[in-house]
Amino acid sequence: MALALRCLRPLPSLLHRSSFAMARGLPQAARGCPAPLLEGCRQCVQHMLLSRQLATKKAKGKGQSQAKVNISAALVEDIINLEETSEDMQAVIEALKEDFNRNLNVRTSPGALDHITVMTKDGKFPLNQLGQISQKSPQLMVVNMTSFPESTAAAAKAIRESGMNLNPEVDGTVIRVPVPKVTREHRESLAKLAKQSTNKSKEALRKVRSKSITQVKKFKNKVSEDTIWLLEKQIQQMADEAATEMDKLLAAKTKELLG
């Protein structure tokens, strides 16, 4: 009797673990896993969760809208830093916003000239660090280059090539910048520049996406194909969302410029 009781004693624990595994539908441990899934193997937990996400996506019938992929960054931090990828994409969007606000305005103001980059023999500098910018009238801005007279020609060239449709006139160390009238042609020119800036930003976005996908593919021999597939899909999804935001910014700026 005592022997029988000792044999039966482990059964409740075993039955509990078996029923738990059946109820949860856990996958088998990943090949080469050093520990059983229920003992907390991080690799297996990751495989389990990503496999469930993949199964959900594949279960969608053709013609049905697929749910967004939303992988926890913590689950795949050993493969790629998704938060860093998101920040890099957001940085591209912010740069586009800054370009729109600084350089693409119907009414040219002294502040629009501040950050025009001037190439000098000592390097690149913002115009407002080399000259004193002021507006003499609604039709005229003036840049006083007395502090750096040797950079006067370079500053005039930078203003002319800024894409702001400005034609500076040099008089000694003073640069006069006539403000163009707001014509329909000028508005359309600015709208074209906005489109060009957006296309350049999208190219920068594609580089961020490609860099991230290349990073993921380095692990194709270390993690499952499902994991690689999901990560690539999520990165593409992030890039698509960023591109959509850029299109909205362009639409708003175009409407503002064309009136």
Calculate mean pLDDT across residues 176-183: 85
> For residue 148, is pLDDT > 60?
yes
| Inter-residue contact 36 to 211 (CB < 8 Å) | no
- Give the domains, in start order, of the chain with CATH numbers: 73-104+183-258 (1.10.132.20), 110-178 (3.30.1360.40)
Closest to 125 (Cα-Cα) out of 148, 102, 104: 148
**Cα separations in angstroms, 108 against 41, 112, 131, 180:** 62, 6, 17, 8
Contacts of residue 43, Cβ cutoff 8 Å, sequence gap at least 6? 30, 33
Q: Scanning the structure block, which residue is given the tokens 């990751």? A: 46
pLDDT at 3 over 70: no
CB atoms within 10 A of CB 34: 9
Lowest average pLDDT, out of 42-51, 118-127, 128-137, 213-222, goes to 42-51
Q: How far apart are CA 173 and CA 158, in angstroms?
A: 15
Q: What is the mean pLDDT of residues 22-39?
A: 43
- More reliable by pLDDT, 43 or 233: 233
Which range is least confidently modeled, 47-51, 101-105, 244-248? 47-51
Q: Is the pLDDT of residue 8 over 50?
A: no
- Supply the mean pLDDT for the chain: 79
Per-residue model confidence (pLDDT) at position 27? 41
Q: Which whole number is the average pLDDT over 44-61?
A: 49
Helix (H) / strand (E) element for 28: namely none
Residues 6 or more apart in contact with residue 173 via CB below 8 angstroms: 144, 145, 146, 149, 152
Distant-in-sequence, close-in-space partners of 238: CB < 8 Å, separation ≥ 6: 82, 85, 86, 89, 209
3-state class (DSSP) for residue 177 = strand
